[in-house]
Amino acid sequence: MFANTVRSLLPRRAQSHFKRNLHKPFVKIVEVGPRDGLQNEPTHVPTDVKIEFINKLSETGLQSIEVTSFVSPKWVPQMGDNTEVFTKIAKKPSISYPVLVPNVKGLEAAVSVGAKEIAVFASASEGFSRKNTNCSTQEGVNRIKEIVEKTKSLDSTLRIRGYISCVVGCPYDGYIQPKAVTTICESLLSLGCYEISLGDTIGVGTRSTMEKMIKDLLKITSADKLAIHCHDTYGQALVNICTALDLGIRVVDSSVSGLGGCPYAAGATGNVASEDLVYMLHGMGAETGVDLKKLISAGHFISEKIKKPTASRVNKAMYKKYFQ
């Protein structure tokens, strides 16, 4: 069903994804494990392990890997080695290596090490914005405006990706009205973000809340400006991703091994596991460009290093049983 309906749902600008294979829709995966994943892992991960991990991910066929965050190490000690990680990874010209930037200071640090793409973030929820960044959602947008203004003098070619967190639910404010997401999304797009990643930060979204939120957004923008970012806390991530795909979204964020968690929801898991996502997409007849076997190996590597069993159900044992 997905493969058949895909083309009719696709906005014209996103149809270029079909050029590589006219019969298979292309879904781009943004791997966020090294940043969103590891940032929320309690185990300290040595810098050389992160570098080796990212280098392994670069060999899988992924097109975008978010590698670190230029935040103050006082806030996020796990990302304190951002400069070393960014400068020492073996970068491939075909891959984008975005870094998360919370403010102008972070932007300056990112540009000084040669970052070509940054990610900025705002929240659709007032409660989350205040707790997480100590400002209102509007002040969060203003902070992004400052970052964007600064890029013009530092590096006008820098690509800027926007995240909106808590797009359907918030640990403090509960259900989030689609209007709140639409307002922030409109602001970030007008500031010049090339794409907005819609984050179900605590994984409370369901097919119906996702659908309502995305349909509202499609009244003000096209699906090729949107990406989906689902955490799997309540087992809804793949269903929610399918909902986004049905509505024309073709970019999905995920973390290999389902790395990460959410400090705001007890027992929360991380992002949807990249391995499970790739397995599902290939099973649907979509193309990702990702070698599932290599992806599983990269996930196995980091799971062993942080001594945490992979959250992915598509693992080495499963692959061996069904594919070899």
- Work out how close the CB of 113 gets to Zn ion at its nearest, in angstroms, rounded to a whole number: 23
Q: Indicate if 166 belongs to the active site.
A: no
Among residues 170, 193, 230, 262, which one is catalytic?
262
Please tell me the distance from the alpha carbon of residue 71 to that of residue 90, in angstroms, as a whole number.
Answer: 22
The least distance separating Zn ion from the CB of residue 165, rounded to whole angstroms, comes to: 8
| Window contacting Zn ion (CB under 5 A); options: 1-9, 28-36, 65-73, 79-87 | 28-36
The CA–CA distances, whole Å, from 38 to 89, 99, 137, 194 equal 16, 13, 26, 25
Q: Structure tokens of 121?
A: 């973030």
Q: Which residues pair with 169 in a beta bridge?
A: 175
Rounded Cα distance, 14 and 307, in Å:
40
* Nearest to Zn ion of 30, 160 (CB atom): 30
CB of 8 to Zn ion, least distance (A): 31
Say whether residue 232 binds Zn ion (CB under 5 A): no
Q: Which residue of 36, 81, 126, 195 would you call a contact of Zn ion, by CB under 5 A?
A: 36
Is residue 275 a contact point for Zn ion (CB under 5 A)? no
Residue 200 interacting with Zn ion (CB under 5 A): no
Report whether 199 contacts 163 (CB < 8 A).
Answer: yes
Own/partner contacts of 238-242, CB < 8 Å, gap of 24 or more, are 238/272, 238/276, 238/277, 238/280, 239/206, 239/207, 240/200, 240/205, 240/206, 240/207, 240/210, 241/272, 241/277, 241/280, 242/2, 242/207, 242/280
Asked if residue 31 binds Zn ion (CB under 5 A), the reply is no
| CB 184, min distance to Zn ion, A | 16
Span from 17-25, 35-43, 171-179, 298-306 in contact with Zn ion (CB under 5 A): 35-43
Would you say 96 or 151 has its CB closer to Zn ion? 96
User: Which residue numbers are catalytic?
Assistant: 262
- Which residues sit at the interface with Zn ion, rule CB under 5 A? 36
